[in-house]
Amino acid sequence: MKIISYNVNGIRAAINKGFLEWLQYENPDIICLQETKAQKEQLNTSVFTELGYHQYWFSAQKKGYSSVAIFTKTEPIKVHYGIGIEKFDFEGRFLRADFNNFTIIDSYFPSGTTGGERQEYKMDYLLHVKKYVDELQKNTKNIILCGDYNICHKPIDINHPERHNGVSGFLPEEREWLTNFLDSGFIDSFRMFDTSAEKYSWWSYRAGSRQKNLGWRIDYHIISNSLKDKITNAYILNKVEHSDHCPVVVEIKD
């Protein structure tokens, strides 16, 4: 089973850059999208149906903003829209699909880059995601949390870490949250297979950052320890350029 997480930074813009052709070629069993920036009715969703996907969209109430979607070849048993807190669900940030042997969560975590209230909003979101997952773990053994976390966990996950002290996305409290989340029974699937530096999933559009590989690794598949022995591969498709992010992939034995 191949699962892809991808912040497309606007699904309609990505489609204009060849996203559909890429999706058909890559043919994941499940793809979790973040920052689709679209309501379902704003595009022709039949193209995804023709590729064999059941589609689940959770869009922000503000058009052209945030929003997540899950496309899956296997129909879920149940789909849960939102985390249950209005200020987060208003922005379309959290979508969960339950299958027979696992649960997958697709989340677009806030960035906090403007500081102030938005950084507080981000930290509050982190708090409530942890509470939600803690509660979910009581009855659900196998959880996969895909998405754009907007956090670089360790210095190896960001270019020139010494230049990013005090920057949202690399703040000590954000990184500590991710450490604690992993310690609660999860694994960073990519680092099971690749512990090298300069492996990133997002690059600023400014100053030729992508060409210089001045990136951040902020997109993850965080997976329950119970599934560790079933994870066969995890990698970053850093040559795919429909967005300022690139897709990240995990492969799991059924």
- Residue 29 annotated in active site: no
Q: How far apart are CA 3 and CA 150, in angstroms?
A: 19
Catalytic residue among 106, 148, 188, 219: 148
Bridge pairing between strands 103-108 and 143-148 = parallel
Residue 175's φ and ψ, nearest 5 degrees, are -65, -35
**CB-count burial class (<10 Å; 0-12, 13-18, 19+) for 143:** buried
Closest CA to 219 of 184, 254, 250: 250
Asked if 243 and 207 touch (Cβ cutoff 8 Å), the reply is no
Q: Which residue has the tokens 């998405």?
A: 147
DSSP state, residue 1: -
Catalytic residues: 148
